[in-house]
Structure 1
Amino acid sequence: MNTVFPNRLVEIIASSIDEVRDSSIDAICETASLAELLDHASALDAFRRSEPNLYHRVRALFFLQSIYRYHLPKRLPADDAGLIPYDGYEHLLGRRFLEAIDVFLQHQQNVGPSDSIASALAAAYHQLGFQTLADQVRRSVRTFRGNQWMFRLGHPADHPLRLRPEMLAADPATGTMPILRERTAVRMDFSHSAWSDIFFLGMDFP
């Protein structure tokens, strides 16, 4: 049974058919009118607010960023830059992206779309997408038992990993230091952060 989606871009995100899911957002948005782009944006915003799947939510956020950054401004008058609500601007600077988006969308509904509000929405959706991924990474890393030592270190001496003494001594003949070739799991890699063992951040349970 085929699922009926309320919007073509939502279908691209949520479809189980590879050919649909791999479709380009640009192919749809390039020929869309201003009204159609706003309809797409409205459907995507409603979708990301209610969708439980993290990967789908993040993809919707980046679709929204693309619409407001690259496609919608081309349909707007070049001589009407518009204004950005100051409270939304404060939310954006304070990394309260959900609140910023709500303020910007309400302003757009009240006065109509403008280049400025499109730019503000693009920035907010873009940042919210990465914040959503980062929040999932933090939850995943903290709840996995093998990672919990990362959050229990009160002093460098508490670190459970140690360098071999010979790595800290220079060669007597040349004065050069040893070179470490790391072949461990990324979680134990001293040159990476604690989060870097998660390669596909869009997964629900990395």
Structure 2
Amino acid sequence: MITIYGMSDSGNSYKPRLLMAKLGRPFRHVETSSRDGSTRTPAYLAKNANGKVPLLELDDGRFLAESNAILLHMAEGTRLLPADAYQRALVFQWLFFEQYSHEPFVAVRRTMFLYPERAAQATPERMQALLDGGNKALGVMQVQLEKTPFLAGDAMSVADIALYAYTHDATIGGYDLDAFPAVKAWLARVAADEGHVPLTWLP
């Protein structure tokens, strides 16, 4: 059976769990956390030298790291990854946007509130910069979602799963989602999609 190593409260680890739930595919979850040191053990580093989660272990023993790479691989041939080359490129565009323009702000600001050990890093200047960067990313999403029901067009894709993971609880980080009504409506559409499970769900 496929194994996913991940933190149960991590948005990045939530992404592949949510995808597998929507696809109805069984998998095994192995709790692996940067907070308890389990991502830095020799055994784990032998699987992923970068020492991060999530990590996918396939039935044949091969490994695949990076949440969005896992999404693309597991969604191949399903309704959540378009066959058309241009539509696929739009999905890739949003996956890159998530990692470069969204996650570094929205996800990081969330961790400042969730994890007490991050308190020393939460200077007023940094928190404001994270708020500004996250609001900019949410604004970009708002512009697109005023035009299309999902980020890459009319159909849901792994782009929506990737950006849902940290957007749906962005209020933890102090973001005002009421300022982005199209984003809020999109969150509801993603949550209403077949097979949806919350962040806390484990197989």
TM-score by length of 1: 0.29
Higher relative contact order (CA 8 A, sep 6+): 2
Larger radius of gyration: 1
TM-score by length of 2: 0.29
Q: Which has the higher strand share?
A: 2
